[in-house]
Amino acid sequence: MKWSLCLGLLLSLSACPPPQPMPPKPGPLRGGTATVKLDLPVGMAMGGYLRTKPGSDPGSTWARQFPSSRGMHTEPTARTLALTNGIERLAIVRLDLTIVSPTLRTRIRAALKAAGETADVVLYATHTHAGPSRFMPPAHLGDPNGTDFVALVMDHYDSEVELRLVEKIVASINQAFSALEPVSYGVATVEAGDFNNDRRCENDLIYGYDFRDTRATVIRFDVVDESGAPIRPLTALVHYAMHGTVLDSDNTLQSTDGPGAMELYASDAINVPIQYLQGAAGDVSPRGSPFGHSAMQNLERQGKASAKLIAEAFVRAAPGNAAAEARLEFFEHGTLIDRATMGYAQGEFPESGGLQCQAGGMGGPCGSIKSTPDQVFCLPLERRRPFRTSLSLVRLGEDVVLFTLPGEPGTGLTRKMETALAGLGSTYTLPVGYSQDHFGYLLEEDDWLRGGYEPTVSAFGWKFGPYLLAELEGFAATLGQEQPAVDATPLPETPAHPVTDAPRAPNIVTEPQDGQRTLTHVFAFEGGDPTLGMPQVSLEQRVNGAFTQVMASPTRPLINGPELLARYAATPRFKDDENATTRTHVWTIQFETTPSTALGEYRLVARGRSQVGGAISSYELISRTFTVSASTAINGTLKLVGGDKLAIDGRFPPNPTLRASDIDDVIGHFRLFDADANPSQGAHAHPLPGATLMAMVTLPDLTSAMQTFTWSDTDNAWLSAPVTQTGNFQVTVAAGGLRDAHGNENASALMLSVSR
């Protein structure tokens, strides 16, 4: 009897399904960051603008249809924020590129998978128009033999460019994950409308004048101790909307442009590497200088001004204790790119997309005319089977949602997308533009049909923006369900680029000379082919008898730009002899000092690689020691302030941006001397707070006396006590009388006059 009961019990137990394991619980959040230079050669064509070759273009194996870049302002990098909670592994990767291509995304995923890395990846570009191109596969008009439209803004595809990018991007991801530390995060938003503009007047009748996203949102990450309490900052994401178009289409220097300047100087101010996160920049341009700064000067001005605001937000975003179970989720939805699925009727829009679309009354003035769909004309793209691209979504904690968009999103469309995601309950819902793929501008239907430039480079017309909105709504409503997968993209291969020999070992051509502040010191040397990598040139200063690395900030060594501009020239030029196997490779470094450059002895040290006789070797070249001394070039003018005070306005010589005559390229005066002065009028000579100077004043009645002038920050001048007489006043300032806080002064006596 006992045996039968036991047997029955065993049989009944075996019929029950085994208990399901409990889902794993997330652990605390860990984060790491890494930055790797993309190391794409000088000579590389730059993307973003429709560029034509000037007669002076030297040519390059790295440029085909576009002009070749001729130097480096700031080197492009991949910066990765790696995050994990023990369940999700996520890499958020910022690229100093114009766009993200589907082939780049496919190659990176394949490379990570091959290396056993399971992390999900968000790839996005800053949209600098001075960054490397040639990694976007072609989009031919009409048929496979038609014009490659992509090449008009990104030059022709080159798989070696893409493979070089993949190597460095994957390295940044691996390094970031190898540097994981326990972290907590906090968020703050500030108003930052001083740094961008509404660039699309065509939609003013829809949204109103000056419609744009002016918010800057800082997501700060701090390392925490064993109790979860923050102990030091690690990094921050700074979300902002701004086109990377401070430098114009004639610029020949690779640069990270406006987004890069904001990131660089904010990192300097905060002393941790912050990461720019691009927002809805499709209809937003960078703000110009109110004082007339242009090109590199305006990049520095805007970068330093925005850094102050970001630093304030960074303080406000100080995190609390880390959660024991951190929420970190990544979702991806394969969005079908298909004309019928988007809602187009047969014949209403080209089957595989179209470009150069004419809308807005075929050129009506700034949105005053809206086309109807039957009035729109587009050039069709070659036929392609429908495929799935990426929409992805990141949830961080309970208060942050990031959603990616494969193109240049307009503000109106993203506002509706933010509203559509409100049901997720997050305080901050942020669009990440130029992410995971690229299909041109993403606009609402009414916005698109009003024409302008943006619809001409929007591959899927007026219904694509609303379609992405509907896809995002459906995606958000089904986050717990299995999503369609993103399609891998076919990967074309192209021939590799040869490396040319140098005729001799690297050697110095031009030595920097001694000089006063504001002089540009020039160091030129024969090095190696740019294909071997960008020379790394550092500035060193003699301190206590030994040379030490100069630091641009407490955490950034002064190596290469933006403080050291690099230019490259080869002999023979590529356009003169494409098949040359030996060329002289001359690199020229410009170090322009400012009124506040530290006095002392300096040297420049160049390190790189060169190939001579087929053998590659490393080199180091050290310049002569040169001295930077105080400037004696301060001059002065006399004016009236408030109608009754004499004001001595001390200034340095003007330093307007100098440009080449043939291509309008910047060739000199690239540093910012004074953010609040027109460079054509010269930088103000700012003394120490409360400073005074003594000057001889001759009154209209011809009596003379020494008087005290006191510095006024408000007026940027030294002010006298009120005067009562009318007529001509003459002020004599002795040599050395106009002295600023850094010891710069006037070399000789100044005779100044003004009438009252």
Instruction: Verify that 137 and 262 share a domain, yes or no.
Output: yes
Query: 458 and 552: one domain?
Result: no
Task: Band the pLDDT of 5: cuts 50, 70, 90.
Answer: very low
* Choice among 375-384, 576-585, 657-666, 705-714 with the minimum mean pLDDT: 657-666
How high is the pLDDT of residue 238? 98
C-beta of residue 277 within 8 angstroms of C-beta of residue 124:
yes
pLDDT, mean of residues 512-528: 97
| 513 pLDDT above the threshold of 80 | yes
Q: How many CA atoms lie within 13 A of 54 on its CB side?
A: 15
263 and 240 share a domain?
A: yes
**pLDDT category of residue 488 using cuts at 50, 70 and 90:** very high
* 22 confidence band (pLDDT: 50, 70, 90): confident
Q: Are residues 606 and 639 in the same domain?
A: no
CA distance 715 to 641: 8
- Could you tell me if residue 151 is inside a domain? yes
Query: What is the count of structural domains for the chain?
Result: 3
Shared domain check, 566 and 597:
yes
Separation of alpha carbons 632 and 299, rounded Å? 28
- Dig out the tokens for 264 from the structure: 């660089």
d(CA 440, CA 456): 9
Q: Considering 629, 658, 683, which residue would you say is the last residue of a domain?
A: 629
Separation CA 152–CA 65 (nearest Å)? 8
CB 360 within 8 A of CB 377: no
Residue 242 has pLDDT above 60, yes or no: yes
Over residues 467-486, the pLDDT tens digits come to: 999 999 999 999 989 999 99
Domain co-membership, 695 together with 614: no
Report pLDDT digits (tens) over 252-298. 999 999 999 999 999 999 999 999 999 999 999 999 999 999 999 99
- Same domain for 204 and 78, yes or no, is yes
Does residue 642 share a domain with residue 615? Answer: no
- Token pair recorded at residue 287: 């703000």
pLDDT at residue 97 is higher than 50: yes
Task: Say how far apart CA 536 and CA 604 lie, in whole Å.
Answer: 10
**Average pLDDT, whole number, for the chain?**
94
Both 168 and 47 in a single domain? yes
Domain match, 577 and 529 both: yes
686-729: pLDDT as tens digits: 999 889 999 999 999 999 999 999 999 999 999 999 999 999 99
pLDDT of residue 7: 39
Structure confidence at residue 9 (pLDDT) = 38
What is the span of the domain harbouring residue 532? 507-629
Please check the confidence at residue 659 and state whether its pLDDT lies above 90. Answer: no
The three-class DSSP label of residue 453 is coil
Domain of 544: which CATH number? 2.60.40.2300
* 295 in Cβ contact with 261 (< 8 Å): no
* Residue 370 belongs to some domain of the structure: no
Q: Which of 13, 21, 76 is nearest to 44 (CA)?
A: 76
